[in-house]
Every structure is written in C-alpha cells, then in structure tokens.
Copies of this chain bind each other. A is one copy, B any other.
Amino acid sequence: MEKVNLKRLAEELNLSTSTVSRALQDSYQIGDETKSRVLQLARKLNYVPNPHASSLGSRRSKMISVVIPEVTDSYFAQAINGIEAVAQERGYHVLIYLTHERQQQEQAILKEFQGGRVDGVIMSVSAETTSATHLQELLTQRVPLILFDRALEHVQTATVLTDDFASSAQATWHLIKRGCSTIIFLSYFRNLSIGQARLAGYRQALQDSGLPFQPELVVDCTHSDEHNFQLTLDVLQKHAHTDGIICTAEGLTLSVYQACHELRRSIPADIKVICFSNSRSAAILNPPLTTVVQPAFETGQAAANLLFKSLKNKSAVSAADSQVLPSKLVVRQSTGG
C-alpha cells in the first residue's frame, strides 16, 4: 500500500504541501473551499498525520495523562471515568499510567513527560512517595499538573481533594455513637497529607468524645493483602476489647473481613467496621459494609476542568483554584445498620 502523506495529498490536489498542512490544521490563512477539498481527500485516502511531526508543529499533542497508583481500587477507576468524560468533549485522548504505589516508577513516568509528550498531567501520588522533586521538575518545564485525592505539600499547583479530616472524624463519631470505645485505625499512607488528615480526624473525634488516643491501635498497612491480613489479626489479638475498626483504604476490606472471620469475631455484633470505599460490592458483602464514599467521578471531572482551563489560557495552574469536595457516609449493617 502506498503511503498517504502530505506530499501525496498535495500532488493529487495540485496544492503545495504547506497549504495542505495548514488546511488540515484549520488555519485561518486557508479558504473554506480549499479546506473542504483537502479534508475530503484526506478522509477518502485514510490519511493519518505523523504524530511526531504534527506535534512538533502545533506544540499540542492532544493528549493528557493520568498517573495513578492502581486501578484495582474503585475510586481510581471512577475518577478516570470523570476525567475521560471531560477530555472526550474536548477531543483529547487520555493516557493512563500506573505507579503501583512505587515512588521510583512515578519518577520514571514523570521524566517521560518532561519532553513534551503530553499537554498536561493529572496525578494522584503513590503511597510511598516522600519527595516532591519529580513533581517540581515537571512544573519547572511548564507542564500543567493537577493533583487529586493524594497530594504532596509544598507543590505549587491546584489540588482537588476530599474533606479527609471531616469525613474521618464523622466515621469515628459514627462508631462512637454505636457504642464503640476501642477503635482500631488501619492507616494506609501516613506519610501523605491525606493519611495525616484522616488520622487527625480520628484523633479529634476521640478527643471530643472523651476517649483516649491509643497509638498502638493505629496500624500502618501495606500494599500486600497477606501482610495486611496478618497485621489485622495481630492487632485484634493484642487488643481483645476492640469493638470498632476504621479502614482508610478500600483494599483493606478483604483483610478485615477475613481476620474477623478467622478470629470468630462477628461483624457487627462484636466489632463494627467502616471503610473508605467506592466499591459497588459494599452493599452485597456479608454483612453489607458501611462506607465513606468519596466523590470520585466528580473529583476526576473537576481536576480535568482545571487542567483544560490552564491549557486554554496558556497559564500556569494556580494553587488558588484548589477544591475540596465532600464525601458521604453510607450506613449499612457492618456498623449495626
């Protein structure tokens, strides 16, 4: 098959390649009739622009990328849908990159973007990320960057977050009102501000209700199911009076249910469980799970809108545009219904 390129189109139309190129880019310098002739032939011959060449020309890749830790978490799957809903309206493609919760992987991916491969980046940092250098470098190269859900402090850009402090305090209060007094807090990303905010909300609710804060009830979980199962077993065995558990990540649900089952502690009779989770399965678990549901789709939408605003105005993203969207407590049987 002969390659269909600008030269071929130009020859068939008896135009210069630069006229064809500008017509395809919808340049104001080219008349409507010519544009129409060029587009018709391009379509007929199934002309595909060389992405490298055309990006160099227009300096726009028409691609944005989303960098997230995992897709096994419903929150991120739903946030992607929110981002894509906005991007598709604007004719942009969305590339998704996974860090698998590793800072090193995150750094390698962001390095890729420095060369201008994408027009902008929407990102949620990995659980193990402690340094912001790779984010700073991207901003120095003027690649617009929006952080959502999991941000890093001291990065001068907009964030779209949930009310982590308030929703964690509300979850803790919910357990306290249901009679819990020894509440385990399964932490997932304590080095990040999201983890700190959720822990602070838990502490505040304990304090306001007159319950003591016991540091040994706070457990740092990891990315391994087996490890989290063992950690949960251990803390439940050490603290036999435990009557409540707060899981700060959806992925911890399985470990908690299995550990309670293993120790024959009934949910909710013996132990009440609440989980930050966007999983649709929450309603059909045994027992149905009380959840803190984050506005995942809306967060993705908001982050994408901020990014496109920056692209349209050709301006840097301002930290002043940051947003906080509220989560919702959905009460089910795991806390007594």
Interface set of A (CB-CB < 8 Å, partner B): 1, 46, 48-53, 55-56, 70-72, 74, 76-78, 80-81, 84, 88, 93-98, 100, 105, 108-109, 111-112, 114-117, 137, 140-141, 225, 253-254, 257-258, 279-281, 283-288
Contacts and interface: CB of A to CB of B under 8 A. Distances in A.
A80 B93 contact: no
A281 to B, nearest CB: 5
Contacts of A55: 52
Contact of A257 (B97, B137, B284): B284
Contact of A284 (B53, B56, B285): B285
Copies in the complex: 2
A275 to B, nearest CB: 12
Contacts of A253: 281, 284
A97 B1 CA distance: 28
A71 B76 CA distance: 9
A115 B50 contact: yes
Contact of A95 (B81, B96, B111): B96
A321 B202 CA distance: 55
The 6 closest A-B CB pairs, nearest first, are A286-B286, A96-B96, A52-B52, A71-B71, A48-B114, A51-B115
A258 B281 contact: no
Nearest to A289: B284
Contacts of A88: 105
A1 B140 contact: yes
Contacts of A114: 48
A96 B1 CA distance: 29
A336 to B, nearest CB: 16
A97 B96 contact: yes
Nearest to A88: B105
Contacts of A95: 95-97
A191 to B, nearest CB: 24
Contacts of A286: 284-288
26 contacts: A46-B137, A49-B115, A51-B52, A51-B112, A52-B52, A52-B55, A53-B56, A71-B76, A71-B77, A80-B98, A88-B105, A93-B97, A93-B108, A93-B109, A94-B98, A95-B95, A96-B97, A254-B280, A254-B281, A258-B283, A258-B284, A279-B281, A284-B285, A284-B286, A285-B285, A285-B286
A225 B280 CA distance: 10
Contacts of A105: 88
A71 B94 CA distance: 14
B72 A100 contact: no
Contacts of A109: 93
